[in-house]
């Protein structure tokens, strides 16, 4: 290794104890180190001395770990970062180091350099090029441990923030050895997974970066990995990355119809591992929950995926708990958007029937809970007030399916079903509150609620719930009923004046249980006698 000891001869490294103690104090100082403290520390121990000690005294117990932690904090300060250009050869050597913590430090140093660089006299990207930093970062990504790979991804993401950096990461010539497509093709399964992870992380930066990735055909690498059914773990890892991709705000427009077709093929494949089908359902659910997705895909493609999930649900039995819950959760995600809810209720047969029947089935506990939350989404509990009600056909199917489920149960009416849920354990009551909060905007549901005073008693009683989240869910439900009631003709019904009073009082009281004001009570005592 190149040595920096000669750069400051007045410091002796024969006994690194003083350096070790001071570096430990600096590294473990509580709070953020500022430039003043950094300058004072480096005045006592110049960077050349610290780096030389790191290179030549690695056998001293605790020294390497301490100096790495110290340097990481030094380079996070503005002053420390300003010194990095003078030590790019150290960064270069660090990226090649056998020590994983030194390698990770070098990656983090690149990030600090790019994040804090403000010297107009030199080009940050030119220094990256001159010291061949980017190929070394790729080597760290592929060959390093998890910590090193993560640090390398962060450094490359920072590089992508520079227009010139984009030209390095995405070379015009597809035959470049650093082209991510070429890199993925010659990697191990783990290395390929990391390259795909990098692509997803870069994709999340901005719409313009996502466009470059899309036009470079790099998303096809992810689809190819998902199609690799010979390696379940690799396929599952790729599906997780695709799920991450669907969460990116600007990602929907770049996820092509072929991606949806790919998910459809996995969900429909009975010979596929159940865990892969379940994850494909969740990815599809996340993708189709986006309101803008229907701008970029056609309705038949969306219906095809919904139908595939619907068919799987019909084939599953009581033993397939995890896959069943995943399917219901996926349908619930789809139903959270207006277009998705309409598709669930308008398909033939309507896929929402599985949700509604499972929501009030007391036999499958996990299945019921997933279905209740899915029904709440379809009902619009998480949509804006002006987007709760669907079109007339979807609304009629929603009402019909709930009444059919009630008629085939021992409760006979929707109000009976709602009450049975509210009498269950806390987590089911929470889901029940969400269902009622969404459904009560419909006049038929409001009538059902008002027909069962026990429901009103539960949602207006502040003592019903003991957890903060439970109290808030109950109160939101109470407010939704209150709003629907006082906006309806029922408010003028004398027979419902008691319900009106309870709702009004409960809304004014707020979500949390508070002690009522205690009136002074006179105390009568017998006279004391001597």
| Most confident of the following: 174-183, 188-197, 514-523 | 188-197
**Coil, strand or helix at 529:** coil
The answer to whether the CB of 184 falls within 8 A of the CB of 139 is no
Stretch 86-98: mean pLDDT = 92
Non-local (6+) Cβ contacts of 222 within 8 A are: 196, 199, 200, 238, 241, 242, 245
pLDDT confidence of 292, banded at 50, 70, 90?
confident
How far, in Å, CA of 388 to CA of 398, rounded? 13
Asked if residue 146 has pLDDT above 80, the reply is yes
**Alpha carbons 405 and 434: distance in angstroms, whole number:** 19
pLDDT per position as a tens digit, 367-376: 899 999 999 9
CA-CA-CA-CA torsion sign (15, 20, 23, 29): negative
CATH topology of domain 1-168: 1.25.10
Question: Is-same-fold flag (1-168; 256-409)?
Answer: yes
Q: What is the pLDDT of residues 219-265, one digit of tens each?
A: 999 998 998 777 888 899 999 999 999 888 888 888 877 789 999 99
Mean pLDDT of the chain: 88
Phi, psi of 106 (to 5 degrees): -60, -40
CATH topology of domain 256-409: 1.25.10
Domain ranges of the chain: 1-168, 256-409, 422-509
pLDDT-above-70 percentage for the chain: 92
Report the pLDDT value the prediction gives residue 390, as an integer from 0 to 100: 95
Look-up of token digits 């390093």: 144
pLDDT tens across 297-312, in order?
Answer: 888 889 999 999 999 9
Query: Rounded mean pLDDT of 444-470?
Result: 92
| Distance of alpha carbon 283 from alpha carbon 332, whole angstroms | 12
DSSP state of 45: S
Q: Give the pLDDT of residue 373.
A: 96
- The separation between CA 444 and the C-alpha centre of its own chain, rounded to angstroms, equals 36
In whole angstroms, what is the distance from residue 528 CA to residue 530 CA? 7
Q: Is 47 left (phi over 0), alpha (psi -120 to 50) or beta?
A: alpha
pLDDT tens for residues 188-215?
Answer: 889 999 999 999 999 999 999 999 999 8
Which of helix, strand or coil describes residue 145?
Answer: coil
* DSSP summary character for residue 228: -
Q: What is the mean pLDDT of residues 427-433?
A: 95
Give tens-digit pLDDT for 492-504: 888 888 888 999 9
Listed in sequence order, the residues at least 6 apart from 119 whose beta carbon sits closer than 8 Å to its beta carbon are 82, 85
Does pLDDT of 444 surpass 70? yes
CB atoms within 10 A of CB 139: 16
Q: Is the pLDDT of residue 158 over 80?
A: yes
pLDDT score at 14: 62
* Alpha-carbon span 204 to 117, nearest angstrom: 23
> Both tokens of residue 52?
């030389």
504, 491 Cβ separation under 8 angstroms: no
pTM for this entry: 0.83
Low-confidence winner among 23-32, 468-477, 517-526 (lowest mean pLDDT): 517-526
**What are 394-422's pLDDT values in tens digits?**
999 999 999 999 999 888 999 999 999 99
Q: What is the pLDDT of residues 307-364, one digit of tens each?
A: 999 999 888 876 788 899 999 999 999 999 999 999 999 988 899 999 999 999 877 6
Instruction: Report whether pLDDT(4) > 50.
Output: no
Per-residue pLDDT at 517? 46
């Amino acid at each position: 290794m190149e040595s920096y000891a000669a750069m400051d001869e007045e410091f002796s490294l024969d006994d690194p104890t003083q350096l070790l103690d001071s570096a430990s104090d600096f590294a473990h100082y509580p709070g953020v180190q500022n430039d003043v403290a950094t300058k004072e520390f480096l005045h006592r121990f110049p960077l050349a001395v610290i780096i030389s000690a790191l290179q030549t005294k690695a056998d001293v117990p605790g020294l390497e770990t301490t100096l790495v932690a110290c340097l990481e904090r030094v380079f996070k300060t503005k002053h420390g970062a300003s010194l990095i250009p003078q030590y790019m050869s150290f960064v270069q050597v660090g990226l090649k180091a056998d020590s994983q913590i030194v390698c990770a430090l070098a990656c983090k140093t690149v990030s600090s350099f790019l994040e804090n660089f403000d010297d107009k006299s030199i080009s940050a990207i030119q220094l990256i090029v001159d010291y061949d930093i980017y190929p070394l970062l790729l080597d760290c990504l592929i060959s390093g441990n998890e910590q090193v790979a993560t640090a390398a991804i962060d450094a490359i993401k920072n590089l992508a923030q520079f227009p010139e950096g984009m030209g390095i990461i995405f070379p015009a010539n597809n035959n470049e050895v650093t082209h991510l497509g070429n890199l993925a093709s010659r990697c191990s399964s783990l290395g390929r997974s990391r390259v795909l992870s990098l692509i997803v992380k870069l994709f999340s930066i901005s719409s313009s970066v996502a466009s470059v990735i899309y036009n470079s055909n790099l998303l096809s690498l992810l689809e190819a990995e998902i199609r690799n059914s010979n390696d379940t773990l690799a396929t599952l890892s790729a599906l997780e990355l695709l799920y991450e991709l669907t969460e990116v705000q600007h990602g929907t427009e770049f996820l092509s119809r072929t991606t949806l077709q790919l998910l459809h093929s996995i969900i429909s494949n009975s010979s596929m591992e159940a865990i892969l089908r379940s994850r494909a359902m969740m990815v599809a659910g996340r993708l189709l929950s986006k309101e803008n997705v229907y701008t970029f895909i056609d309705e038949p493609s969306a219906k095809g995926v919904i139908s595939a999930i619907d068919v799987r649900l019909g084939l599953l039995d009581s033993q397939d708990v995890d896959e069943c819950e995943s399917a219901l959760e996926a349908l619930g995600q789809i139903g959270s958007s207006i277009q998705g809810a309409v598709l669930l209720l308008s398909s033939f047969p309507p896929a929402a029937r599985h949700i509604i029947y499972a929501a009030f089935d007391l036999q499958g506990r996990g299945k019921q809970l997933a279905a209740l939350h899915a029904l709440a989404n379809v009902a619009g509990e998480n949509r804006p007030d002006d987007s709760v009600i669907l079109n007339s056909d979807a609304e009629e199917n929603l009402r019909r399916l709930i009444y059919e489920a009630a008629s085939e149960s021992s409760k006979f009416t929707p109000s009976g079903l709602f009450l049975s849920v509210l009498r269950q354990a806390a987590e089911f009551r929470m889901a029940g509150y969400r269902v009622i909060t969404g459904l009560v905007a419909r006049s038929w549901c409001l009538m059902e609620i008002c027909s069962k005073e026990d429901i009103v008693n539960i949602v207006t009683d502040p003592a019903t719930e003991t957890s903060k989240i439970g109290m808030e869910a109950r109160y939101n439900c109470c407010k939704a009923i209150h709003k629907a009631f006082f906006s309806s003709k029922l408010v003028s019904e004398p027979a419902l004046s008691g319900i009106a009073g309870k709702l009004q009082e409960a809304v004014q009281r707020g979500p949390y249980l508070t002690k009522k004001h205690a009136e002074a009570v006179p105390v009568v005592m017998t006279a004391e006698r001597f």
